[in-house]
A = this chain, B = another copy of it.
Amino acid sequence: MAVSDVTPLRADARRNLERILEAARAAFAERGLDVGVEEIARRAGVGKATFFRRFPSKDALVLAVLEGFIEEIEAAADDAATAADPLDGLRGFLLHHMTLQANNTAFFDAVSARFTGENPPVELTDRMLDAIGRVLAPALAAGVLREGVEAGDLSTVAKMLGAAIRPMPGVLLPEAAWPRYLEVVLSGLRAGQDPLPGIAADPCTMVREVSANSA
């Protein structure tokens, strides 16, 4: 979803595209995906049509913004992977993830809601899974984790922490409480306890659809 370069954009067009992305990031962060295209365009100082000339649809914009986040997560994962203490790396990664979610209220929920089923951004989620694997590997190798921990557990725990941080849309858990819940789940994953019961979540579940019927 990067800038197409078959015919290089005119300078002003390129500038506007950048502005739109920036405005969208800000607007999505503040109010979630519900902000209208019109408002985003206005905040970017641009007409609606200009928006649609750059992005085929609102979804495409969302994907583009999402890609930025994935990149950030990948960077955090690389940091974590090179940490001296693998458990600290893991902690740092999850904390970074929490920050990202906190600064982008409702964004991730909305993203997953929007891309449910038919058009999952497989490439992006695969990159995310890779990142998770890179974070987990050193901790697994060092044997600091409870028996049975695997990738699906980490992605699930990340999701759980993301939920903890936003008790309601527009409400943020005070930062002083973050380490508490991070600690709760890390305690639950640390070595020196019984093996984890049950099966791990499928990390791919984050992208593949499995129709779930209620009982």
Proximity bits, A175-202, B CB within 8 Å = 1, else 0: 0111111011111110001001111111
Proximity bits, A150-189, B CB within 8 Å = 1, else 0: 0011011101111110011111111011111101111111
Q: Measured between alpha carbons, how far is A213 from B170 in the docked complex, in Å? A: 8
Interchain CB contact (< 8 A) of A200 among B109, B177, B185, B189: B177
Copies of this protein in the complex: 2
Whether A167 pairs with B172 at a CB distance below 8 angstroms is no
Given contacts A185-B188, A193-B187, A197-B179, contact A164 B160 (CB under 8 A): yes
Interchain CB contact (< 8 A) of A201 among B170, B177, B188: B177
A2 in the interface (beta carbon within 8 A) = no
Q: How many residues of chain A are within 8 Å of chain B by beta carbon?
A: 62
Whether A29 pairs with B183 at a CB distance below 8 angstroms is no
Contacts of A196 in B (CB 8 A): 180, 183-184
Q: State the Cβ distance, A118 to closest chain B Cβ, in Å.
A: 11
What would 18 A/B residue contacts be, using CB atoms closer than 8 Å? Answer: A30-B213, A103-B215, A104-B214, A112-B168, A116-B170, A152-B177, A156-B167, A157-B184, A160-B161, A160-B185, A167-B201, A171-B210, A172-B210, A172-B212, A173-B201, A180-B198, A180-B200, A187-B188
